[in-house]
Structure 1
Amino acid sequence: MLNFALHMPTKIIFGKGEVLKSGEIVCEYGKKALIVTGRSSTKKTGVLDKVIASLKQAGVDSVVFNRIEPNPRAETVDEAGHIARENHCDVIVGLGGGSAMDAAKAIATVAVSGLPIHEYIRGNFTGKWRELLPIQKALPIVTIPTLAATGSEADGGAVITNLKTKEKSGINGPALSPKAAILDPELTYTVPANYTADGAVDMFTHLYEGYFTGDEHANVQDEITEGLMRNAVRFAKLAINKPNDYEARAHLLWTSTLALIGIANAGREGSYPVHAMEHTISAHYDISHGRGLAILAPAYFRLVIQTDRPHRLARLGRRVFDIAIEDDMQAADATIVAVVNWFKEIGAYDTLKNVGVKKEDLKMMADETIRVGGLGKNSLAGTHPLTSDEIFGICNAVYE
């Protein structure tokens, strides 16, 4: 096990009806909130009005910014950051899925610095991110997730897309860790099946990336990871079949949070090559992040992990999917089949061709993954340094 320092500064409030405490929680951090949310769903479900009313009752004024897109855009973040400054907002509330919460963190940054968020995006062509990250100053943030997926509710990172430059990458820093996260599983009842499925794939990927690429002598972390993966697999299917099942939604939401809060990778570390590959694809084609991850996983498992660490792939299969095969290579094969079958069961299995990606763009996107995700190196960190040709091979294998 590697040395580590673990700091989890976010206060978590979890349970039924906890969204009604939004006002008493937010008022600890400010008196005028910018509520950052998507274009329609929180309004349609009534949760936005509940939050506004709770804030008002606690003496917190609010301004609503409801134009956050999936894969939040840099220009949208910049606009909202200026609105926060002009309205003298002193706290940001991220209400919605991962896009709204990631945008809230970026907006909290722009509201303080006044700088374009693109300059902060890791790996961007300007290179200024090297000086600006990690982010030390931002307005205080409170998150209220309405989807179990990204884990953004309680971590210190966010992912932003610049459509003009086709760059999608992360920002991070201690100032981006939310002061509080209100996790009310009932808010996720209305999430459509495809969003639930893609969210489950995202949390599953957060877990397996470090599990495969990190230190192999961190058994405590490995067993935490395996338990969380089992919960993602089990409760995704249940939540899709019974959307109002509280226990299914509660377990998914808490799994999402724990997957990225730092516990699983503390002392193990690891890298996120599948996320880096998907970020490039969705920067160019604006597809669902979780769906992109599901597309890439089978080829990544077969072409990279089964070659580099087949015993790890076999262990995942045995611990998460009850694969009862002693030989590691055969168990690894069976694990890939089991993961694909799970994707199919929940409706997440797909191909790059089917989501509209052009085959002639694959090599360009592989090169772009290295440029942005390689952070100045001519490869992508993983179980071994992944080259552009290897990334192209993975994408080509799942094209159709």
Structure 2
Amino acid sequence: MTLRFDELARDGQARKGRITTPRGSFTTPCFMPVGTRAAVRTLDTGDLEALDPPVVLANTYHLMMRPGPGVIQLLGGIHGFTGWSGHVLTDSGGYQVFSLDPRVDDDGATFRSTYDGSAHRFTAERVVDVQLQFGSDIQMVLDVCPPADAPAEVQRQAVDRTSAWAARARRRFLERSQDHPAGAQFGIVQGGTDPALRVESAARTTEVGFEGYAVGGLSVGEQRDRMLAALAATVPHLPRDRPRYFMGLGDPVGLLESVALGVDMFDCVLPTRLARHGTALTWQGRLNITNASFATDDRPMDPDFPTGPATRYSRAYLRHLFNVDEPSAARLLTLHNVAWLLNLMESTQDAITTGTLDRLRHRVAESWTHPAESSPSRTFR
């Protein structure tokens, strides 16, 4: 086994755990910043080393298009290419492919590159091969992720194809692992917001047998109560001795509600995208630093996060940087937002250990409410 999960503490269904791989170990629940094209937007590897995230994500679709898996493999895999020695998880790129209106059949998906219009084809096996060339520590199988409002027959077909592709991907992964250094492989559960379909997909995915399991196809625009109901139906059917990963979720309330249901790992580009538009994550909720009311405000962005990497700068100064289009503005807010979410997860781990998770959930819910109580769109990925 290339990945081990050990449960360290519980508070209800929430759990604090440790994931161990050949590269090292990290503690869950955890948030993983997204470096789609092998870089977290506006940050460099030195920034990541200072932030010390447990895992950084990269995207198979984008890296297969540019610079290509052969280049990355030649330059030492994803770790040598980026100079990052920590854990890397690569998404399959399926979400991006299915947003391109591909031609899909039971064998795979044919699509055109957003970079140059060239034709390409993803199959379960091809996606495994590319990620092995990357040398990622955790790779995701190719799945079918339909829109949130897709009709029942589309969701049914997505579950069937995702299950079939998972079995093929697992066979390819195990075959190639015999003569190729391999990390861990996670299967993905689909099923929309239909609890029964979620349970079926979880059973079919776990039957294949993976090192970890992800919940896909949620946080794609559905109401939060429907998202949580589908998640609550899914998690009990995932093995307790394996990590559980919610793909594409990054809002603080959603994170804590999902942790309470037993989820261990999360990712989203929300902290970086919000930062580029002048929005900071704080213990008081979202803060739009470009607001005119901050023109002479000498307070830090979040007085309740004194160890944040941008604490030395006043709101007035950060607002000034954005108003004059200074590139450092987006970088400073990105550093802050990523650090803030990592700190939230550390606080969550502590709360699980001390049995005070409900208190933390209440605190965050008091200051953070998403518009119309809907979950953030998966377009953030």
TM-score (norm 1): 0.34
Higher relative contact order (CA 8 A, sep 6+): 2
**Structure with the larger strand share:** 2
What TM-score, normalized by structure 2, do the two folds share? 0.35
